C-alpha cells in the first residue's frame, strides 16, 4: 500500500482558490464516499481548514500515479474549476513525503504561525469525519494515530508553542519574566480599549487577582469592570492606585503623557521599590519614556512588544528545527511499520500456499497408503501441517527480517515466491 497526499495550502494558493476548495463537514463526507471507490483510491481523508485543503489517500503501490491524478481531478471538479486549473497550485506528495507532510501539518510546523495549537484539532476533526464516512481503513488509521503521537511529542519535547506571539498576550509573558507568577498580581487598565481588555483577560486567566480600570468615560469603565469583577477609578485618582499596581496597561487616546516620570517615582517610593511593569499600547504614547530610567520600572511601548514578538518567533523557529528532527525520525519509524503491515498478508499467503502444496501431495499419494481410520487420516494431516509450519517458520521470519532492512516491495517478494 502507498500513501499519497494532494492539496493546496496558504503558501501555494491564494485565498480565492482555497475558499473555492474548502469543504464543510457534510460535503466532506459525501465527497469522500464519492472519491474512495475501493479500487483506485482505497482509503481517504480530507483536511480542510482556512489555510489548507488536503486530501490524504491510500492506494495500491502500482496505482499511485493514477490515483494522484484522480484526486487532482476530483479537486478541480469539486471546486468547479476547469480541468488542470489547479496544477500550478497543487502539491502531490507520495509515501515518505506524504507522511512527513501530514506529521508537519499536525505538529503545526507548516502553519502560518509556527506552533499555533488549532491545527491538531482540525486534523483530529478531519479524521472523525473520515471515520464517520467509512473511508478510513487500516492504513490511514495507523497513520493518523501515529500523527497524533508525533504532534504530542513535538509539543511536549520542544518549545515550539512556548512563547507568545500576540500583542495581547505579551503582558502575561513580560509579567512572568518580571514577577515569575502572576498569581496575586494587581493590574491597572488606563483606558478601556479592546486590546487592553484582551490583555487584561489573559492576565486574569494567568492568575492576576485584582483589576482596576480607569477610563475617561466612566460608563465604559463600569461596563468592563462588571465583566472582570474589577473596581473603577477616575483619572484624578490614579495616584491613589498606582503604587498598589504591579502591571499597568495603558491605551488611552490622550495626546500626551498620562503616566509621567514624577508620578511614577512617587508611586515607586510608596511601593518600596517593588518592580512595576508598564505596557503602553497607545499611539501617541501615554507613558513618559523617561519612566524607563527609574530603577525597577520596566516600560514597554508598542514597538518593544513587536520586537519581543519577533524574538519569540525566532525562538519558535529555532525550536521548529528540533521538531523537524523528531518528525524525521518518526517518519522513518512509520515507514517501517507500514512495510511490516504490507508483508503481513504476503507472509500469510505464502504459508497458506505451502500448506496447500502439502495437502495436494497427500491427496496424490493417498491411494498408496491403503485404507486408514478417520483418526489415522487426521493424524497424517496434522503431521504434515506441523512439519510445514516448523520448516517454514524460520524461513518466513528470516524473510520478514530481510524485508525490514531492504527496499523491495512486498508484492514483488510474494510474486517471486509464487513463480
Partner 1 sequence: MRSLLLAVLAAYLIAAIHSILAFVNKRRSLQRVAEWSMAAGFILHTGALIADWAIDGHYPLFSLRESLSFLAWALVALYSIVLYHYRTQAVGAFTMPLVSVLTLIALLIGTDASTAPAAFSATWLFPIHTTLLIFAYAAFFIVFMASVMYLLQERELKLKTFGATFHRLPSLTTVNEIATSSAALGLTLLTLGIATGVIWSSTRFGRFWRNDPKEIFALLTWGLYFFLTCYRLTANWRGRSAAWLGVVGFALVLLTFVGARFLGSYHVFG
Residues labelled as active-site residues: 50
Question: Is there binding between residue 177 and partner 1 (CB under 8 A)?
Answer: yes
176, 201, 243, 389: which one binds partner 1 (CB under 8 A):
176
Q: Work out which of 300, 330, 346, 354 binds partner 1, going by CB under 8 A.
A: 300
- The span from the CA of 253 to the CA of 167, in Å, is 18
* Site stretch for partner 1 (CB under 8 A), options 23-31, 173-181, 280-288, 378-386: 173-181
Determine if 307 is a binding residue for partner 1 (CB under 8 A).
yes
Cα 18 → chain centroid: 19
Instruction: Give yes or no for a contact between 399 and 344, defined as CB atoms under 8 angstroms apart.
Output: no
Question: Shortest Cβ distance from residue 208 to partner 1 (Å)?
Answer: 14
Count of residues in contact with partner 1, rule CB under 8 A: 25
Question: DSSP class of residue 254?
Answer: -
Q: Which three cell numbers stand for residue 168?
A: 495581547
Q: Does 226 bind partner 1 (CB under 8 A)?
A: no
290 vs 388 by CB, closer to partner 1: 290
Q: In angstroms, what is the C-alpha Rg of the chain? A: 33
> Strand, coil or helix: what is 270?
helix
Q: State which of residues 274, 337, 401, 415 lies at the interface with partner 1 (CB under 8 A).
A: 274
Judged by CB under 8 A, the residue of 118, 234, 311, 336 near partner 1 is 311
CB of 180 to partner 1, least distance (A): 4
Residues 6 or more apart in contact with residue 302 via CB below 8 angstroms: 167, 280, 281, 282, 283
**Of 97, 304, 324, 377, which one interacts with partner 1 (CB under 8 A)?**
304
By DSSP bridging, strand 91-94 and strand 231-233 are unpaired
Is the CB of 274 or the CB of 337 nearer to partner 1? 274
- Helix/strand/coil for 359: helix
Are 241 and 235 contacting, i.e. CB atoms less than 8 angstroms apart?
no
Q: For residue 107, what are the contacts with CB-CB under 8 A and spacing of at least 6?
A: 120, 150, 151, 154, 155, 160, 323, 326, 327
What single DSSP character describes residue 191?
S
Residue 408 touching partner 1 (CB under 8 A): no
Among 84, 117, 275, 348, binds partner 1 (CB under 8 A): 275
Binder to partner 1 among 38, 82, 255, 295 (CB under 8 A)? Answer: 295
In the complex, least distance from residue 119 CB atom to partner 1, rounded to whole angstroms: 23
User: How is 129-183 classified by DSSP, letter by letter?
Assistant: HHHHHT---HHHHHHHHHHHHHHHHHHHHS-TTTS--SHHHHHHHHHHHHHS--T
- Whether residue 337 contacts residue 139, with contact meaning beta carbons closer than 8 Å, is answered with no
Angstrom CA distances, 269 to 189, 244, 264, stand at 21, 11, 9
Query: What's the min distance (Å) between Cβ of 277 and partner 1?
Result: 9
Q: Single out the residue of 23, 278, 298, 334 in contact with partner 1 (rule: CB under 8 A).
A: 298
Q: Closest separation between CB of residue 252 and partner 1, Å?
A: 22
> What's the grid cell of residue 241?
492606585
Contact residue for partner 1 among 59, 107, 163, 168 (CB under 8 A) = 163
The window from 97-105, 145-153, 279-287, 295-303 that contacts partner 1 (CB under 8 A) reads 295-303
Least distance (Å) between residue 318 CB and partner 1: 8
* Residue ranges in 36-75 that form contacts with partner 1 under rule CB under 8 A: none
Please name the residue ranges forming H helices in 180-232.
194-205, 218-228
Q: Does 370 bind partner 1 (CB under 8 A)?
A: no
Residue from 16, 24, 82, 180 touching partner 1 (CB under 8 A): that is 180
Nearer to partner 1 by Cβ, of 174 and 354: the residue is: 174
Name residue 338's beta-bridge partners.
Answer: none
Interface of this chain with partner 1, residues 102 to 161, rule: CB under 8 A: 157, 159
Contact positions toward partner 1, by CB under 8 A? 157, 159, 163, 174, 176-180, 272-275, 292, 295-296, 298, 300, 304, 307-308, 311-312, 315, 322
Amino acid at each position: 500500500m502507498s500513501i499519497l497526499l494532494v492539496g493546496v495550502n496558504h503558501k501555494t494558493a491564494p485565498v480565492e482558490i482555497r475558499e473555492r476548495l474548502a469543504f464543510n463537514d457534510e460535503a466532506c463526507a459525501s465527497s469522500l464516499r464519492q472519491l474512495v471507490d475501493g479500487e483506485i483510491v482505497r482509503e481517504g481523508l480530507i483536511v480542510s481548514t482556512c489555510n489548507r485543503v488536503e486530501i490524504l489517500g491510500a492506494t495500491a503501490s502500482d496505482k499511485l500515479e493514477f490515483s494522484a491524478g484522480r484526486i487532482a481531478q476530483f479537486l478541480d471538479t469539486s471546486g468547479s474549476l476547469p480541468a488542470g486549473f489547479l496544477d500550478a497550485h497543487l502539491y502531490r506528495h507520495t509515501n515518505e513525503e506524504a507522511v512527513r507532510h501530514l506529521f508537519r501539518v499536525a505538529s503545526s510546523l507548516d502553519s502560518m504561525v509556527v506552533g499555533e495549537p488549532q491545527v491538531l484539532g482540525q486534523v483530529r476533526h478531519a479524521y472523525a469525519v473520515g471515520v464517520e464516512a467509512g473511508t478510513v481503513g487500516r492504513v490511514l488509521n495507523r497513520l493518523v494515530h501515529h500523527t497524533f503521537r508525533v504532534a504530542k511529542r513535538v509539543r511536549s519535547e520542544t518549545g515550539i508553542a512556548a512563547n507568545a506571539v500576540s500583542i495581547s498576550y505579551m503582558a502575561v509573558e513580560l509579567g512572568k519574566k518580571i514577577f515569575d507568577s502572576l498569581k496575586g498580581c494587581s493590574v491597572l487598565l488606563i483606558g478601556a480599549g479592546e486590546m487592553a481588555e484582551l490583555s487584561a483577560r489573559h492576565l486574569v486567566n494567568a492568575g492576576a487577582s485584582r483589576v482596576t480600570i480607569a477610563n475617561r468615560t466612566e460608563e465604559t469603565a463600569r461596563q468592563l469592570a462588571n465583566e472582570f469583577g474589577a473596581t473603577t477609578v477616575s483619572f484624578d485618582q490614579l495616584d491613589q492606585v498606582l503604587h498598589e499596581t504591579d502591571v499597568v496597561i495603558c491605551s488611552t487616546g490622550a495626546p500626551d503623557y498620562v503616566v509621567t516620570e514624577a508620578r511614577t517615582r512617587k508611586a515607586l517610593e510608596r511601593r518600596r521599590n517593588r518592580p512595576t511593569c508598564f505596557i503602553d499600547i497607545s499611539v501617541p504614547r501615554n507613558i513618559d519614556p523617561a519612566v524607563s530610567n527609574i530603577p525597577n520600572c520596566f516600560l514597554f511601548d508598542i514597538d518593544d512588544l513587536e520586537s519581543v514578538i519577533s524574538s519569540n518567533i525566532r525562538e519558535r523557529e529555532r525550536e521548529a528545527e528540533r521538531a523537524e528532527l523528531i518528525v524525521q525520525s518518526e517518519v522513518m519509524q512509520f515507514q517501517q511499520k507500514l512495510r511490516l503491515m504490507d508483508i503481513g498478508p504476503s507472509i500469510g499467503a505464502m504459508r497458506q500456499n505451502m500448506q496447500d502444496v502439502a495437502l495436494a501431495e497427500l491427496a496424490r499419494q493417498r491411494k498408496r497408503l491403503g485404507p486408514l481410520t478417520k483418526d489415522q487420516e487426521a493424524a497424517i494431516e496434522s503431521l504434515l501441517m506441523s512439519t510445514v509450519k516448523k520448516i517454514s517458520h524460520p524461513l518466513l521470519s528470516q524473510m520478514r527480517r530481510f524485508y525490514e532492512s531492504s527496499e523491495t516491495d512486498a508484492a514483488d517478494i510474494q510474486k517471486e515466491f509464487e513463480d
